[in-house]
């Protein structure tokens, strides 16, 4: 526990020296975060390898329950991505944020505070510490999203984020108040048996799912996510997508761990929400032109995959199938770490592209693979992992969920509705295929082909401070993908906490390696690698571009291929977007061709967000119009405002006396 | 006996505050009121508690020395005119203040307070001072006189806090002082910024900032 506290302290103060130092403030902050990561990872590994679970309590009557923090296996497990991504982001920020306008020391300070709030949050075991850390996290993230507040788009994204996160927090306040009322105190702990099936249990589940869903980016509640991720600096986007969203998952996981007897429909609801988020998330990602927005929609998709796993595990827990429970929960938790690794990697490499070219627009990039080989390799590794292809880590977690769902097919006694495992399997497969299509489009449009603009033609490779964190994350992805058996005991313990055991002993005593042949994956990866090597040697690179004289006279123009003849990102995805237009509802601005000599014309298409652009924004505009009459009260004169205060005070006094 | 005298003087200074037409006089009255109230705990015979003596000393030091110092500096910096320049005339202000004092006497009589308070005038005086502070805030135009209003408002809160001084931990009292200090500090900055932005310290210009 002392290691954990030292890590917390180091992270919290990491930005303070930078306020006073004239130079090298960023290096000091990154160093302190590195120290925090080393200490925190030490604490995490100790707990995850079966060490003692530390806790921190404060004995005052006002709190009700004394326990404020518990660093159990679940906390230790969630602390790992927090630490890794924050230090990678800090190092990356050194190169990325150099020479930018804006208050860099303040951003560093808030970045450290955000890391500290996240560390506090993972270990919170009391509603007070949880909500405190939750709000600290939300506000620190708001400051970071607003880093480039000179741009109107950023300001809009920041306000949407703030409104959404506070709506979620409001629901959480209600949920925790209800929980405290049921338990008689606000500390976290197992709920009494039978509560889950009652009305209170249903209310708790709904409130927690919606409240945490706002943060996690569950499909209709994701409205803040794409704009905020696109507007934030890339290392902040990496931290937000990789870790911040996961805190919503952490909340749901904590809640599930308190419930000894969840009804099967909870699992079904989680799985359905996961399927919705996953499929729609990737479908909307297909329609995006903005690289970071595309990645943000993929975060929604991956949250969906995690929820599918949680739903499967809960189904297993509800109906007494320990194998299904262990595989579902383990898959979900592993995907939490995996997603933060590969999505962090993707956001960092997208940031390198933005840094080098100044644009996130897929239609203005292209051919970057030649000038930015390392960045493109990093992006490819991330894309490979996110599509769930072996031998990288995304495959392992999705594979665990697949295995669990296959075990659930045709199980007796029933799961409430027999079809849930099938729904999970089909949606996972659909998500995987669409993700592959989407990343084929993204990688192809950015790194392959010919550069579409002059800046893309001369994009320089990122500096070393930016490449180093990307390399580290890519290696972590590979390590989990190649040798998953190494991480299985830790994963089993964390999943055991979800099963209801506070120290994380696996359910039914069965180790994860007995349920899933994880060791075989290492061999499979080796064989796969060998095959790829052989194939690479066998498939020679395509013939060099022929000289002009070798070609036939009319060759469809292929002799002089230029950037405008290649597939654009939109045209590559067009088939799928058209096929899905009944959900995506893309908006196209078609030029009208008239006359014998039509003028040059523009064609534009975009896919508006259904939750933000089609539902929330119009609804809120209506509210704003309806509330226009309240403007009279906003005179602008300070004395008038003070008069309101005086009148309120008087009214309260009179009310008290009367 | 002595506490009642101090309270009576406080209430009288309320009337002087709303009736005076000079900025510097208003500041002097507010400072006088602060010092009077700072001496209150000693007059109440609470000199045996060390932390209360410390608090009284701090209150007198802040209100009697530090705040006048800040005011003098602000006056010098902004070249303010000497007229208070109210929205409401002095006579009307005086009548409103009298009305507020009467109302607070009436309210204090009916408030559900802990029985056994020895100083009967304390609650009405604190409410009356609060109202006076608000009256100054609402009716005066210059940013500097508004700071005087805040000061008087805080004096009222301080007087109310004295009711509980024996039960209340020193933390809360220190909090009040800190609050005041920050308030004055911020207003000082705001005044300066208003002057820089609008070339005057008239708060009417702030209305231009509305949405």
pLDDT, tens only, B161-183: 777 766 665 555 666 666 666 66
DSSP code at position B22 = B
At residue A67, φ and ψ (nearest 5 deg) are -70, 120
Burial of A611 (0-12, 13-18, 19+ CB in 10 A): buried
Encode burial over A560-598: b for 16+ CB neighbours within 10 A, e otherwise: eeeeeebebbbebbbebbeebeeebebeeeeeeeeeeee
Q: What is the pLDDT of residues A391-436, one digit of tens each?
A: 899 999 999 999 999 988 877 666 567 788 899 999 999 999 999 9
Chain B closest-CA separation from residue A602 CA (Å)? 37
pLDDT tier at B38, thresholds 50, 70, 90: confident
Measured between beta carbons, the chain A residues lying within 8 angstroms of B140 are: 639
**Most confident stretch, A58-62, A186-190, B71-75:** A186-190
Domain ranges of chain B: 2-209
The residue in chain A having the minimum alpha-carbon distance to the alpha carbon of residue B153 is: A646
Residue of B112, B130, B133, B134 to mutate for A, most A C-beta atoms under 10 A? B134
Q: How many CB atoms lie within 10 A of CB B47?
A: 12
What are the chain B neighbours of A632 within 8 Å (beta carbons)?
A: none
Q: Sorting pLDDT into bands at 50, 70 and 90, what band is A546? A: low
For residue B189, the model assigns a pLDDT of 62
Q: What is the mean pLDDT of residues A231-239?
A: 93
Q: What is the 3-class SS of A498-530, one letter each residue?
A: HCCCCCCCCHHHCCHHHHCCHHHHHHHHHHHHH
Distance from CA of B6 to the nearest CA of A (A): 25
Rounded to the nearest integer, the mean pLDDT of chain B is: 78
**Distance, CA of A300 to CA of A603 (rounded, Å):** 29
Q: Which residue in B has a C-alpha nearest to residue A642's C-alpha?
A: B138
Residues of A with CB under 8 A from a CB of B: 634-640, 642-643, 645-646, 649, 653-654, 656-657
Percent of chain A with pLDDT over 70: 93
SS3 A32: helix
Residue A519 pLDDT exceeds 80: yes
Confidence at residue A655, expressed as pLDDT on a 0 to 100 scale: 84
**Which positions in chain A touch B210 (Cβ < 8 Å)?**
634-636
Please give the torsion angle defined by the CA atoms of residues A510, A513, A515 and A518, in that order, rounded to the nearest 10 degrees: 170
Residue-wise pLDDT tens digits, A323-344? 888 999 999 999 999 999 999 9
- Beta strands at A604-606 and A587-589: parallel, antiparallel or unpaired: antiparallel
Tens of pLDDT, residue by residue over B123-149, are 889 889 988 988 888 888 777 777 788
Neighbours of B125 (CB within 10 A): 28
Return mean pLDDT, chain A: 88
Give the closest residue to A238 by CA, choosing from A87, A80, A383: A87
**pLDDT tens digits, A271-299:** 999 999 999 999 999 999 999 999 999 99
CB of A60 within 8 A of CB of A213?
Answer: no
User: Is the pLDDT at A540 greater than 80, yes or no?
Assistant: no
Position with higher pLDDT, B151 vs B205: B151
Residues 28-87 of B with CB under 8 A from A: 87
Q: What's the ipTM?
A: 0.76
How buried is residue A637: exposed, middle or buried, by Cβ count under 10 Å (0-12/13-18/19+)? middle
A646 vs chain B: nearest CA distance in angstroms?
6
Chain B residues in contact with A640 by the CB 8 A cut-off are 138
Comparing CB atoms, the residue among A634, A642, A649 nearest residue B210 is: A634
Is any Cβ of chain A less than 8 angstroms from the Cβ of B206?
A: yes
Q: Is the pLDDT of residue B68 over 90?
A: no
B134 touches chain A (CB under 8 A): yes
pLDDT at B172: 56
Q: Which residues of B touch A649 (CB under 8 A)?
A: 130, 134
Quick check: A652 pLDDT over 90? Answer: no
Nearest CB partner across the interface for B138, out of A635, A642, A657: A642
Question: pLDDT value at position B118?
Answer: 64
Chain-centroid distance, C-alpha B203: 19
């Amino acid at each position: 526990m002392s290691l954990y506290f030292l890590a917390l302290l180091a992270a919290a103060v990491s930005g303070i020296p930078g306020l006073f130092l004239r130079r090298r403030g960023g290096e000091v902050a990154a160093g302190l975060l590195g120290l925090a990561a080393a200490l925190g990872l030490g604490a995490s590994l100790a707990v995850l390898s079966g060490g003692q679970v530390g806790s921190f309590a404060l004995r005052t009557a006002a709190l009700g329950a004394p326990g404020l923090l518990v660093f159990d296996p679940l906390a230790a497990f969630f602390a790992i991505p927090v630490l890794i991504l924050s230090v990678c982001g800090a190092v990356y920020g050194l190169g990325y944020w150099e020479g930018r306008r804006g208050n860099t020391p303040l951003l560093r300070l808030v970045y450290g505070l955000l890391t500290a709030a996240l560390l506090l949050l993972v270990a919170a075991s009391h509603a007070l510490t949880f909500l405190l850390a939750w709000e600290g996290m939300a506000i620190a993230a708001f400051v970071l999203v607003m880093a480039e507040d000179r741009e109107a788009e950023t300001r809009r994204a920041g306000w949407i984020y703030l409104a959404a996160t506070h709506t979620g927090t409001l629901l959480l306040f209600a949920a925790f108040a209800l929980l405290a009322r049921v338990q008689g105190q606000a500390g976290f702990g197992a709920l009494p048996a039978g509560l889950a099936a009652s009305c209170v249990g249903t209310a708790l589940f709904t409130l927690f799912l919606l409240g945490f869903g706002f943060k996690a980016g569950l499909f209709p509640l994701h409205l803040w996510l794409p704009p905020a991720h696109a507007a934030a600096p890339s290392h902040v986007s990496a931290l937000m997508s990789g870790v911040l969203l996961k805190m919503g998952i952490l909340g749901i996981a904590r809640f599930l761990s308190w419930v000894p007897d969840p009804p099967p429909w909870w699992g079904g609801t989680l799985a359905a929400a996961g399927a919705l988020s996953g499929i729609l998330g990737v479908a909307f990602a297909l329609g995006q032109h903005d690289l970071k927005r595309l990645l943000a929609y993929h975060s929604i998709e991956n949250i969906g995959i995690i929820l599918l796993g949680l739903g499967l595990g809960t189904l297993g827990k509800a109906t007494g199938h320990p194998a299904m429970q262990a595989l579902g929960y383990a898959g979900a938790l592993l995907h939490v770490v995996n997603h933060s690794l590969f999505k962090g990697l993707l956001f960092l490499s997208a940031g390198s592209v933005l840094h080098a070219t100044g644009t996130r627009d897929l239609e203005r990039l292209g051919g970057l693979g030649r000038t930015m080989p390392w960045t493109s390799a990093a992006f490819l590794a991330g894309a490979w992992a996110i599509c769930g292809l072996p031998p990288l880590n995304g495959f392992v977690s999705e594979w665990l969920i697949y295995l669990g769902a296959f075990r659930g097919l045709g199980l007796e006694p029933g799961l409430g509705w027999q079809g849930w495992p099938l729904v999970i399997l089909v949606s996972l497969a659909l998500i995987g295929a669409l993700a592959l299509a989407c990343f084929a489009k993204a990688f192809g449009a950015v790194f392959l082909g010919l550069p579409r603009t002059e800046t893309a033609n001369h994009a320089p490779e990122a500096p070393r401070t930016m490449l180093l964190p990307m390399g580290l994350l890519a290696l972590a992805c590979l390590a989990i993908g190649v040798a998953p058996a190494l991480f299985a005991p830790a994963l089993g313990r964390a999943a055991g906490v979800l099963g209801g055991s506070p120290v994380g002993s696996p359910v039914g005593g069965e180790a994860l390696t007995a349920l899933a042949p994880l060791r075989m994956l290492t061999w499979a990866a080796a064989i796969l690698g060998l095959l790829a090597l052989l194939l690479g040697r066998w498939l020679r690179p395509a013939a060099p571009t022929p000289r002009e004289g070798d070609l036939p006279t009319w060759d469809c123009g292929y002799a002089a291929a230029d950037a405008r003849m290649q597939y654009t990102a939109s045209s590559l995805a067009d088939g799928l977007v058209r096929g899905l237009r009944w959900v995506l509802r893309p908006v196209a601005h078609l030029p009208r061709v008239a006359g014998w000599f039509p003028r040059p014309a523009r064609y534009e298409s975009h896919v508006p967000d259904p939750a933000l652009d089609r539902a929330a924004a119009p609804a809120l505009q209506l509210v704003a119009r309806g509330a226009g009459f309240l403007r009279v009260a906003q005179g602008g004169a300070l004395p008038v405002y003070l008069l309101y205060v005086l009148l309120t005070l008087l009214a309260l006094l009179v009310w008290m006396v009367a | 006996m002595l506490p009642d005298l101090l309270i009576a003087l406080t209430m009288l200074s309320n009337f002087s505050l709303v009736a005076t037409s000079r900025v510097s006089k208003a500041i002097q009255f507010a400072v006088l009121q602060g010092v009077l109230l700072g001496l209150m705990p000693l007059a109440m015979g609470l000199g045996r508690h060390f932390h209360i003596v410390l608090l009284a000393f701090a209150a007198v030091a802040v209100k009697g020395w530090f705040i006048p110092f800040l005011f003098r500096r602000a006056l010098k910096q902004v070249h303010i005119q000497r007229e208070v320049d109210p929205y409401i005339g002095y006579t009307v202000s005086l009548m409103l203040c009298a009305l507020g004092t009467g109302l607070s006497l009436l309210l204090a009589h009916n408030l559900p307070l802990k029985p056994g308070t020895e100083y009967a005038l304390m609650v009405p005086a604190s409410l009356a001072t609060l109202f006076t502070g608000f009256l100054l805030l609402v009716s005066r135009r210059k940013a500097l006189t508004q700071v005087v209003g805040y000061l008087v408002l805080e004096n009222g809160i301080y007087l109310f806090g004295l009711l509980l001084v024996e039960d209340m931990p020193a933390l809360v009292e220190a909090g009040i002082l800190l609050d005041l200090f920050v308030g004055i500090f911020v207003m000082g900055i705001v005044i300066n910024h208003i002057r820089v932005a609008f070339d005057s310290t008239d708060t009417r210009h702030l209305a231009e900032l509305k949405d």
